[in-house]
Amino acid sequence: MDSGPHAPTTLVDVLHARAQRHADRPLYQQLASGEIVGELSYAAADRRARALAMELREHAQPGERVLLLYPFGLEYPAVFLACLYAGLCAVPAFPPDKQRATSTMPRVGAIIRDADARLILTTADLVETVEFARAEAVNPDALEILATDALGHDADRAETWTRPAQLEDALAFLQYTSGSTGTPRGVMIGHDNLYAHQRLAHEKFKQDEGAVTVSWLPFYHDMGLIGSLLYPLYHGGTTALMSPTAFLRSPLAWLMAVSKLRARVSTGPNFAYDLCVDRAARAKPDALDGLDLSSWELTVSGAEPLRPQTIERFCQRFAPHGFRPETFMPCFGMAEATLMVSGWPLERAPSLRRFSREALWTGRAEPLPEEAEDSEGRDYVSCGTPMREHEVAIVDPDTCARLPDGHEGEIWLRGPSVGRGYWGDAETSTRRFAAHIEGEAEAEAETKADSPGVWPWFRTDDTGFVLDGELYGTGRLADLIVIGGRRYQPHDIERKLAHGPDALVKEAVVFSIPDAEGKPQLCIAATGRRTSGDEVRRKLCERIAARVLERVGIEPDRVVLIPQRSVSKTTSGKLRRYRYRSALRDGELEVLWERSAGGVAG
């Protein structure tokens, strides 16, 4: 973007300027069955945002929270941009489903109560469903519902729009976390955080004007919102949108869209790449005829750890169709930092390294030679280096002292894209967004006095280590299991049970609960069939325990079988391990069979 006295400081400035520079260029396109069925140009998006912003100002004051509950389609990005133009604080959320109220209403209700929204924006078709959700508000009568379909189309009204004063200092939106380790929290992302993230992420992504992005990611998720809707706006590209449902129904349609539109960018979490490989293996021989992925330059993998096996399988399967390993950019990021913090360099194949399992048990990262046995090591993918103006530190979570390279600890970070805290939770915000490294507070104060651009540290609650200047994420601090002085990452054990050609179960959840003396017990909840007999269940539990002992070196204290399709996950696909921890402890988990280290109980 332009620099100088009139340089943009918010994405509102960026879109308003681009609407004049390339008015007719598509900003968003809607896909259905591989065809473009709708389009919103830069000029049309800017005009609609200005006109709708003027109408929204009649219903809410600048800074008030506005909940966005929309189905897939072009209305959502248009309305989100209008909220930015109006100076309102957008709150993206997944719309409730009356047919699945027990699974969709709790999260929506929690967000409605926490955000204390003034408005709910939706479509005319969803008003009745949203009325159903309004009852969750603290004061339902004060919460207005507005269908936006027919609003914001008056070109004359658009001409009356004025940019809100000090917009860069205002909140842009609340991004609610996935809730993988507890209740979702609303991260306060300012216009300044959002613009800084896109400006600095662009130095990593290096996409040109006109580059096409294909995305199936949900709009309410930070990867979908920041990476697929707003980053292309920053660099002047086009995003072709397919619905998440269409992707889940036919994962290969995602790749076909990349091929057909000659897209340069498309991203997804780890499971998406595995799903494509699995579907390709079962597809008809001609299902991939004509697939050409040679235009694909960048696929940012985030939201969950990227497994080395996933990269290898995907590259091997789709290399004949032009896919290159250099396309993968493993990243580390989170909603609290707007999206990305650290990423692998573009046009370099990801770095996959194996580390000593025994050393990792004691919190040290020691690389192994390539010829080392699989059982000796644990593979990790490098997440590269932090974005410019950002810094990462590995810190002892108990003492808050900085740890040297090659030691595992809590990942702390700071930089201009880190949000302002959690909405309505000043205590947690202070603890996590204004942290200090032990012994460095005085030096930080002196540095900040000389350089006002120094930011406070944010505690991520994630674990990892830095080696050779590169960041490796290893898991969640809340999920880390320490038994007998050794550290165990739950996902490492889960993969040995539920992934690969020799998987024992479809899904497994690993966690710990204290025994009567307060000592941690290693517990595994694995899926089993309701129709299986007792002997089948008993043998499966024995096989699970034996595999963990053989491949991880520890015998589980408890193995329980739970019904298939009962595994609880967040909207971004992360396991809610804390729910199993409390449910098993409190006797509220539906158990089909249980094996204890001291015996077996049905």
Lowest mean pLDDT, pick from 103-112, 262-271, 336-345: 103-112
Alpha-carbon distance of 137 to 203, in angstroms, equals 42
Task: Choose among 442, 280, 412: nearest CA to 334.
Answer: 412
Query: Tell me: the pLDDT tens digits for 486-533?
Result: 999 898 899 899 988 889 999 999 999 988 888 899 999 999 888 888
Alpha-carbon distance of 115 to 184, in angstroms, equals 11
Task: Choose among 206, 222, 122: nearest CA to 173.
Answer: 222
Q: What distances in angstroms separate CA 195 from CA 5, 170, 235, 417, 505, one per listed residue?
A: 17, 12, 12, 8, 44
Write down the H helix ranges in 6-64.
11-21, 42-56
The pLDDT value given to residue 384: 96
Lowest mean pLDDT, pick from 216-225, 409-418, 511-520, 553-562: 511-520
How much is the average pLDDT of 349-366? Answer: 93
DSSP string, 338-396: SSEEEEPPTTS---EEEEEHHHHHTTB--B--TTS-GGGEEEEE---EEPTT-EEEEE-
Q: What stretch of H or E contains 314?
A: helix 308-318
pTM, whole model, 2 decimals? Answer: 0.90
Sequence-distant (6+) residues with CB within 8 A of 568 are 575, 576, 579, 580
Q: What distances in angstroms separate CA 492 from CA 44, 445, 471, 502, one per listed residue?
A: 48, 40, 18, 15
DSSP character for 97?
Answer: -
Other C-beta atoms lying within 10 Å of the C-beta of residue 21: 12
Q: Give all domains of the chain, ordered by start, each with its CATH number.
A: 11-249 (3.40.50.12780), 351-411+427-476 (2.30.38.10), 481-601 (3.30.300.30)
The pLDDT value given to residue 6: 65
Q: What distances in angstroms separate CA 461 from CA 243, 365, 398, 412, 479, one per listed residue?
A: 32, 19, 12, 8, 10
Sequence-distant (6+) residues with CB within 8 A of 551 are 375, 496
Q: 465 - beta bridge partners?
A: 472
For residue 172, what pLDDT band results from cuts at 50, 70 and 90?
very high
Task: Choose among 309, 239, 259: nearest CA to 78.
Answer: 239
Q: What mean pLDDT, rounded, does the chain reach?
A: 91
For residue 181, what pLDDT band results from cuts at 50, 70 and 90?
low
Lowest mean pLDDT, pick from 158-162, 391-395, 449-453: 449-453
The pLDDT value given to residue 574: 72
For residue 333, what pLDDT band results from cuts at 50, 70 and 90?
very high
- Asked if the model's pLDDT at residue 163 lies above 90, the reply is yes
Query: Tell me: the pLDDT tens digits for 541-552?
Result: 999 999 999 988
Other C-beta atoms lying within 10 Å of the C-beta of residue 79: 25
Q: What is the number of H-type helices and E-type strands within the chain?
A: 19, 27
* Side-by-side strand order, sheet with 299-301: 299-301, 328-333, 340-343, 385-386
Lowest mean pLDDT, pick from 35-49, 78-92, 447-461: 447-461
Contact between residue 581 and residue 513 where contact means Cβ atoms under 8 Å apart: yes
The pLDDT value given to residue 224: 94
The pLDDT value given to residue 11: 98
How much is the average pLDDT of 97-119? Answer: 82
Q: How far is CA 309 from the centre of its chain?
A: 20
Lowest mean pLDDT, pick from 80-89, 96-105, 122-131: 96-105
